[in-house]
Amino acid sequence: MPTLFQQIQAGKVWDFHGGIHPPSRKERTNQKPVALLDIPDRLYIPLRQHIGVAGKVLVKVGDRVLKGQALTQAENAMAVPVHAPTSGTVLAIELHTSTHPSSLAEPTLILAPDGMDEWRPRKPLDPEQVDLYTLLERIQESGISGMGGAGFPTHIKVNVKQPVDYLIINAVECEPYITADDMLMQERASDIIAGIEILVKLLSPKAVLIGIEDDKPIAVASLKAAIGQKDNYFVREVPTKYPSGGEKQLIQLLTNKEVPAGRRPLDIGIVMQNVGTAFAIAQAVLDDIPLIHRVVTVAGETLAQQQNVLALIGTPISDLLNACGFQAEPQQRIIVGGPMMGFAIADWSVPVVKTTNCILAPTENELGAASDEMDCIRCGACADACPASLLPQQLLWYSKAHDQDKLAEYNLSDCIECGACAYVCPSEIPLVHYYRVAKAEIRETQREALKAEQAKARFDARTERLEREKQERLERNQQLAAQRVAQQQASGQTTQSAAAVQQALERTQQQSAQPLDKEQIIAERERKKAEALAYQQQKQQAQTATPAEDTTATTAEDPRKAAIAAALARAKAKKQAEAQPEAVGQPAPAETATADIPEADAKKAAVAAAIARAKAKKLAEAQPEAIEQPAPAETAAPEVDAKKAAVAAAIARAKAKKLADAQPEASEQPAPAETAAPEVDAKKAAVAAAIARAKAKKLAEAQPETSEQPAPVETAAPEVDAKKAAVAAAIARAKAKKLAEQTQMQQIASEPATEATVQAEAVPAEQDAKKAAIAAAIARAKAKKQQNSEPL
């Protein structure tokens, strides 16, 4: 049995499942030579025209560029640059409608040609004299990508490590209208073969298979003539059937091998390139001409001249149509690509790109508009026509249901979107449209899943880093604790603190090693809340009790002080009254005066006592509430007040003694005033001194112990008492002086003092209604006492 290679050498061609035979309509353009277009006024050059990423822009607005100059630079393997199709000035780099079914805007460089078509310096290469790396680098720098399909970067596709059995050159143009590759083979067959030889040097295949449809006899003859006597170069004519130009279908036709689902042709030892790509490689290596133009078929009955043209990359499609005599109809459709796999565009200013091979401008009768979609009748015609042996009907249901698992199970990814199923569908269902939408959803889902995986990886890395840092901190803390323990032991200190630190570290480790569950965390939080609430309540009660106690004590002490002062005053008045000699029936004037003077002193003492009580009451009423933070001098004030009171008492005693010493001795029969005055002054001074001593003693005894937070009233009260003592001493001195002066001038009246007289003397002296009332009450009491003590 002959081997596969022997069968290929013998010219055997196989078949694939399905396929259709639409009218070719190629005769309108395959009989005319490729035309050259004039340079357009504007070129719109997208920065990305292939599968991959855009390169880095090398020019800026306002720069003049030369023909063939690189406009972008590839920064990774999946990028190829774009070049200036002619010389001119960069007008802008902005968004422009893309040549894509979505018609989305993409970054585009707008070039204004200057008409000079001036080339940059070129450096051709000799494939026989350079290494493989140089060839691959030249292919990438020339911006070459697949020109017959999706635009995969060519330098990646031909840079393989595993052995290659067959290099297949796809020269099959199975879609109706398109004849760009046919005319390229007819006119530039030798350049195509030169490009194939460069690919052979890069891949080293066992054989080169050139697949071409049997309806292109001129192209077949041109290629055979260009090949000549080269070994292992085979031109194979395949039946005219759509889509025999598909990658997997052509491999099956020429080698009888099937590419497994989800795999690449390279996995079975096959590499496939388009004839247009081979021609571009030859120009890039041999002539240093980057991919700046391509052959485009312009067809359709609305055109006066249907033909193939050599269009510069970036030429607006409207310029191509106008160059071919375009006469637009109402609701005119413009299709980029063939009638089976092409797509309609709304903006006719979109440019020609590296993958553009055909522009159709059909009339309504030529390509009727799609009718309304009807329900599937489950005829199975789509399954019979599918070249990938899929079940389009099932894929339709799962696409509508967005069931991605079932779509993967039924191998949606193997669909080449040829449109054969939609072509034979009697219900006019746009099956390929549903498949494209489903594929887009799957790609988006995969992209989101990839993002989620990357985010999870970043989160895991962050968690690991935080845990590592936590362990490092824990180790550092343990080391520091060990160092402290060592230092304490070296200095003779106890190890109790070290043990406490060690226990705390152990508890921390246990807590970190055994994380609490949710219930334990909630219970611990509630316990801490209860402790904090109890502490706050205790603090509030303490703050409330302390001011209240201080205020109560102060309020209670003030009435006691007033009562003590009043009792002292009453005792002194009673003592003076008892020391007074008994009155006679008709006393002498001197006796009457002598009796009146003690009564006056008693009145003054009672007035002073009343004043003291009033001040004490006023002070109790005006006492402010205790403040939590008193003035700093609250402890020193009582000592100062006691000293002041003692000094005042000493001064009063000294003055009284001095007055007594300076008093002249009484004569045998002194005048009533002369005899009574010194005695009265001495009594007043003694009374004032006693009052001062009593106040000082009372202040010292009543002084509360100094607390941490006394109320402001505790510091204010001693100041008031000191002032009172000073005022009392001053009043005593002034009264003693005044009485001494009055004694010399006064004439003692012969009649005893009555109640009205005493009241009249007290009121002018004090000028106070309360004092006068108190003095009158005291005088009445004394007068009554004297009357009771007189003999019958």
What is the spatial distance between Cα 526 and Cα 518, in angstroms, rounded to a whole number?
12
Residue 769 has pLDDT above 50, yes or no: yes
Per-residue pLDDT at 587 exceeds 50:
no
Residue 679's pLDDT is: 46
pLDDT, position 102: 82
Q: Rounded CA gap, 395 and 409, in Å? A: 10
When pLDDT is averaged across residues 228-250 and rounded to a whole number, the result is 91
pLDDT of residue 244: 92
Lowest-confidence segment of 279-283, 610-614, 630-634, 687-691 by average pLDDT: 630-634
Does the pLDDT value for residue 631 go beyond 60?
Answer: no
- pTM of the predicted protein model: 0.60
Beta strand segments in 265-386, E: 270-274, 293-299, 307-312, 334-336, 343-345, 358-360
Residue 723's pLDDT is: 61
What is the average pLDDT value for the chain, to the nearest integer? 79
Q: Report residue 112 CA to chain centroid gap.
A: 46
pLDDT band at 385 (very low <50, low <70, confident <90, very high): very high
Cα–Cα separations (whole angstroms), residue 624 to 355, 517, 548: 97, 55, 12
Please report the pLDDT score of residue 745 as a whole number.
54
Mean pLDDT of 117-121: 94
- Average pLDDT of span 140-149: 89
**Phi-psi map region of 580: left, alpha, beta (phi>0 left; psi -120 to 50 alpha):** beta
Distance, CA of 33 to chain centre: 64
pLDDT in the model for residue 487: 85
In 48-169, which ranges are continuous DSSP H helix?
Answer: 132-141, 154-157
**Band of residue 670 on the pLDDT scale cut at 50, 70, 90:** very low
pLDDT in tens, 550-567: 444 444 445 566 667 777
Number of H helices, E strands in the chain: 22, 16
Nearest one of 240, 208, 204, 239 to 224, comparing CA atoms: 208
β-pairing, 307-312 vs 343-345, is unpaired
Q: What is the pLDDT of residues 299-313, one digit of tens each?
A: 999 999 999 999 999
- Res 15: pLDDT: 92
pLDDT at 151: 85
Segment 289-303 mean pLDDT: 94
What are the C-alpha distances in Å from 238 to residues 179, 208, 223?
Answer: 16, 15, 15
Query: d(Cα 1, Cα 272) in Å, to the nearest integer?
Result: 28
pLDDT tens digits, one per residue of 314-360: 999 999 999 999 998 888 899 999 899 888 998 899 999 999 999 99
pLDDT of residue 528: 86
- Pick from 762, 749, 601, 609: nearest CA to 682: 601
Check residue 6 and give its pLDDT.
Answer: 87
> In the prediction, which pLDDT does 578 show?
64
pLDDT at res. 437: 92
What percent of the chain shows pLDDT beyond 90?
47
Q: What is the pLDDT of residue 375?
A: 92
Render pLDDT for 406-457 as a digit per residue (tens, 0 to 9): 999 999 999 999 999 999 999 999 999 999 999 999 999 999 999 999 999 9
Q: What is the pLDDT of residues 467-514, one digit of tens each?
A: 999 999 999 999 999 988 888 787 765 556 666 667 777 777 666 655
Of the candidates 443, 706, 733, 746, the residue with the CA atom closest to the CA atom of residue 589: 746
Domain boundaries along the sequence of the chain: 12-360, 517-591, 600-792
Which parts of 270-343 fold into alpha helices (H)? 275-286, 317-323
Where residue 642 falls among pLDDT bands split at 50, 70, 90? low
pLDDT on residue 384:
94
Q: Which has more confidence, 82 or 665? A: 82
Q: Which of 375-384, 392-401, 644-653, 720-729 has the lowest mean pLDDT?
A: 720-729
Q: What percent of the chain has pLDDT over 70?
A: 70
pLDDT score recorded for residue 238: 93
Where does the pLDDT of residue 646 fall: very low under 50, low under 70, confident under 90, or very high at 90 and above?
A: low
- Tell whether the model's pLDDT for residue 651 goes beyond 80: no
Could you tell me the pLDDT band of residue 722, with boundaries at 50, 70 and 90?
Answer: low
Q: What is the mean pLDDT of residues 239-264?
A: 91
pLDDT exceeds 60 at position 595: no
**How would residue 741 be classed by pLDDT, with cut points 50, 70 and 90?**
low
Average confidence (pLDDT) over 620-645: 46
Band of residue 704 on the pLDDT scale cut at 50, 70, 90 = very low
Residues 6+ apart with CB under 8 A from 377: 426, 427
Residue 206 has pLDDT above 80, yes or no: yes
Q: Range with the lowest mean pLDDT among 52-56, 186-190, 432-436, 584-588? A: 584-588
Class of domain 12-360: alpha beta
Q: Residue 701 pLDDT more than 90?
A: no
Q: What is the pLDDT of residue 684?
A: 67
Query: Residue 115 class from Cβ within 10 Å (0-12 exposed, 13-18 middle, 19+ buried)?
Result: exposed
Q: Name the residue type at position 790.
A: E
